[in-house]
Structure 1
Amino acid sequence: MTEKHGPTVQSVERAIAILKAFSAEEPELGVGELSRRLNLPKSTVFRLLATLEAGGLIAQNPKTGQYRLGVDLIGLANNVIAYADVRRVARPYLRQLADALGETVSLSILDGRDAVNLEQFVPPRRLVMRVGWVGRRMPVHTVSVGKALIAFLPEEELSRLLDGSLEALTPHTITDPQVLRAELIQVRQRGYATAFEELEEGLHAVSAPLYNHEGEVVAAISVSGPAYRLTRERIEEIAPQVVQTAHQISKEMGYRDGP
């Protein structure tokens, strides 16, 4: 295994290499084989395997003494599959909503203190200067999808997320945690969230959460547009349609007690 320089942690890098060494063709590998393939000392490989085994990511076959991938990886993989399923299920609804409202419609998930854009649909008749928002990370307190995603978090998790300063991206960004909490109460009561020039000046948005079969919020959809067109009054008009679309997507993902 070649040495790398930069903002990486060598031990983590090596652990990742071990995990990636396993395959369908070679589901089990021994310390010696891993040492040879990765060009690492056997002692190092053994320590890494022991750590990965303690975390459930690697398991040892008691009969052969060789190692294989651990069952805890299934749960991690299911999280990725769940996001892929959300995208697959949501796409036709997002496209339909974008066409119906004539505004940009997006799908986002929560990752730490950010909302991450997974999908975006822009109506053909709209000329949008910035359409490459897929993959963009946005602080949760600055966007409607962020508020929709965190409004239903357990109190302990929400407190951790709001611990620390809330950066102001515009003069309209909410930076007081108590003010944000009050708005999150409204989100829970009415079933949708709004943002008025809090991420960028001149940008308004409305969002609604998506629920999985266990009733957990796993994503959120948003409709965004320029403030002169997507006015506060217009947002109040279209909010029920956004909530209804979110409900339809949630039902297709197995949710049964819609908002």
Structure 2
Amino acid sequence: MPRSGGNVKSARSPCAVGTYAEVMSGPQGVNGERGSVAAVQSVDRALSVLEILAAHGEAGVTDVAAELGVHKSTAFRLIAVLESRGFVEQLADRGKYRLGFGVVRLAGAAAAQLDIAQEGRRICEALAADVEETVNIAILDSDRAVNVSQVRGPAALSTHNWVGQGTPLHATSSGKVLLAHAADAVRKGVLSRDLQRFTPATITDPEVLRQHLDRIVEQGWGSTVEEYEVGLSAVAAPVRGADGDVIAALSVSGPLFRMEAERFPRLARRVMASADELSRRLGFFS
């Protein structure tokens, strides 16, 4: 299976709350208390518009305004914002509105995350039983890695649950794998700013990190040794979606005294095999 090339897909929603706030909060803005309340109300109303269209299939501005209990001009501004982001589209022949493809994108992103966690569960359980350490699946969320699944092996020492928590891209094995396959803009963004030090072993030199990322793409896996937590090491490999893009990273982590660097190549083969199996279940075939 080829492991180089392709961009990792971020789970970050394309929707920006600031857009609603700027359009709907009025001259008061979002800095003061009144502006903040108006912004929250605008977001709530915008979501209600989506629910109305989902329930009725299509609706006009007058219908939406009536259900929301607002003036038509307010309903029109709400719909205009949603339309500008692709969440609502107008039916040219009747002047009514329906849900747009932007909603499908969000639904697809949510479904993909659920698929990764659900499809990966048995694979994680099998790998955790095999290597007797903790196995995680993480996805890219803007400038961090977020864990969506975790299985602890029989010898795992830590009881910490990482599911739902974000970790730095430059200091974790999953993060580095995701960053290595990320879009150029994401990669350049991380490499251009100060890299936070978590332990004495954390890589804070952008050029050194760049070399690590290039090596990950070349060899198909990444690793860390006490770069995020003292005494913890980890190995990770990329998981690909049906289109071949990297959508997640599968990792094994454990105490350094059991997971020394000399063990990494052999462990990496198991991790890559499990990541490849998950990729196939998600529709990717080399």
TM-score by length of 2: 0.81
CA separation of 1:140/1:11 partners in 2, compared to 1, >3 Å: closer, same or farther? same
Identify the residue that residue 48 of structure 2 maps to in structure 1.
Answer: 17
CA separation of 1:70/1:113 partners in 2, compared to 1, >3 Å: closer, same or farther? same
Please report how far the alpha carbon of residue 29 of structure 1 lies from its aligned counterpart in structure 2 after TM superposition.
2.4
Give, in whole Å, the separation in 1 of the partners of 2:183 and 2:201: 27
CA separation of 1:241/1:75 partners in 2, compared to 1, >3 Å: closer, same or farther? same
Give the number of aligned pairs: 253
Q: Which runs of 5+ in 2 are unaligned?
A: 1-33
CA separation of 1:107/1:6 partners in 2, compared to 1, >3 Å: closer, same or farther? farther
The CA deviation string for residues 204-250 of structure 1, in whole angstroms up to 9 with x for no partner, is 11000011122100001000011122221222331111111111211
2:241 is equivalent to residue 197 of structure 1: no
The CA deviation string for residues 6-30 of structure 1, in whole angstroms up to 9 with x for no partner, is 796554443233223333x422223
CA separation of 1:7/1:246 partners in 2, compared to 1, >3 Å: closer, same or farther? farther
Which of 177, 182, 195 pairs up with 1:153?
182
RMSD across aligned C-alpha pairs, in angstroms?
Answer: 2.2
2:79 is equivalent to residue 49 of structure 1: yes
Give, in whole Å, the separation in 2 of the partners of 1:220 and 1:240: 14
Higher relative contact order (CA 8 A, sep 6+): 2
Query: Retained in 1: the 8 A contact 2:53–2:97?
Result: no
Q: Secondary structure at the match of 2:56?
A: coil
Give, in whole Å, the separation in 2 of the partners of 1:8 and 1:46: 16
The CA deviation string for residues 30-65 of structure 1, in whole angstroms up to 9 with x for no partner, is 323322333333212101212222322111233443
Q: Counterpart of 1:32 in structure 2: which amino acid?
A: T
Q: Counterpart of 1:57 in structure 2: which amino acid?
A: F
Identify the residue that residue 101 of structure 1 maps to in structure 2.
Answer: 131
Query: Retained in 1: the 8 A contact 2:133–2:155?
Result: no
Please report how far the alpha carbon of residue 142 of structure 1 lies from its aligned counterpart in structure 2 after TM superposition.
1.2
Identify the residue that residue 283 of structure 2 maps to in structure 1.
Answer: 254
Query: Retained in 1: the 8 A contact 2:191–2:210?
Result: no
Identity of aligned residues (%): 38
Which of 213, 216, 226 pairs up with 1:187?
216
Q: Counterpart of 1:19 in structure 2: which amino acid?
A: L
Please report how far the alpha carbon of residue 192 of structure 1 lies from its aligned counterpart in structure 2 after TM superposition.
0.5
CA separation of 1:164/1:238 partners in 2, compared to 1, >3 Å: closer, same or farther? same
Q: Counterpart of 2:276 in structure 1: which amino acid?
A: H
Query: Retained in 1: the 8 A contact 2:145–2:167?
Result: yes
Please report how far the alpha carbon of residue 127 of structure 1 lies from its aligned counterpart in structure 2 after TM superposition.
4.5
Identify the residue that residue 77 of structure 1 maps to in structure 2.
Answer: 107
2:169 is equivalent to residue 140 of structure 1: yes
Give, in whole Å, the separation in 1 of the partners of 2:189 and 2:68: 39
Which of 26, 34, 37 pairs up with 2:56?
26
Query: Retained in 1: the 8 A contact 2:133–2:154?
Result: no
Please report how far the alpha carbon of residue 173 of structure 1 lies from its aligned counterpart in structure 2 after TM superposition.
1.3
Identify the residue that residue 121 of structure 1 maps to in structure 2.
Answer: 151
Give, in whole Å, the separation in 1 of the partners of 2:134 and 2:285: 28
User: Runs of 4+ in structure 1 displaced over 4 angstroms?
Assistant: 3-10
2:252 is equivalent to residue 223 of structure 1: yes
Give, in whole Å, the separation in 2 of the partners of 1:30 and 1:61: 10
Please report how far the alpha carbon of residue 5 of structure 1 lies from its aligned counterpart in structure 2 after TM superposition.
5.3
